[in-house]
Amino acid sequence: MTDQPNPLNTKEGEAQLLQDLLSAERAGAKVAGDSLKQCNDDAQRKVLEQVHRGEVDSCKLVLSCLQHLGLEPNREVGAFYDKAMAIESLDERLPFIDRGQRWVIRKLKEYLPGCQDPVIRKELEKMLEIHEVNSLLAH
Cα 124 to its chain centre, rounded Å, is 10
Q: Is 6 within the bounds of a domain?
A: no
Cα 35 to its chain centre, rounded Å, is 17
pLDDT value at 119 more than 50: yes
Mean pLDDT of 35-45: 95
What's the angle, vertex CA 50, arms to CA 45 and CA 56, rounded to 5? 125
The predicted pLDDT at position 5 comes to 66
pLDDT value at 74 more than 90: yes
Report the chain's C-alpha Rg in angstroms: 15
- How many CB atoms sit inside 10 A of residue 93's CB? 20
Q: Is 72 within the bounds of a domain?
A: yes
Q: Is 5 within the bounds of a domain?
A: no
Closest CA to 63 of 107, 22, 112, 121: 22
Q: What is the pTM of this model?
A: 0.92
- Domain of residue 82, CATH code: 1.20.1260.10
Cα 60 to its chain centre, rounded Å, is 11
Exposed, middle or buried: residue 65 (CB in 10 Å: 0-12, 13-18, 19+)?
buried
The predicted pLDDT at position 91 comes to 94
Q: Is 46 within the bounds of a domain?
A: yes
Exposed, middle or buried: residue 75 (CB in 10 Å: 0-12, 13-18, 19+)?
exposed
For 3, phi then psi, to 5°, come to -95, 70
Q: Is 2 within the bounds of a domain?
A: no
Q: Is 43 within the bounds of a domain?
A: yes
Residue 4 pLDDT class (50, 70, 90 cuts)? low
Tell me how many domains the chain contains.
1
Mean pLDDT of 11-28: 95
Q: Is 17 within the bounds of a domain?
A: yes
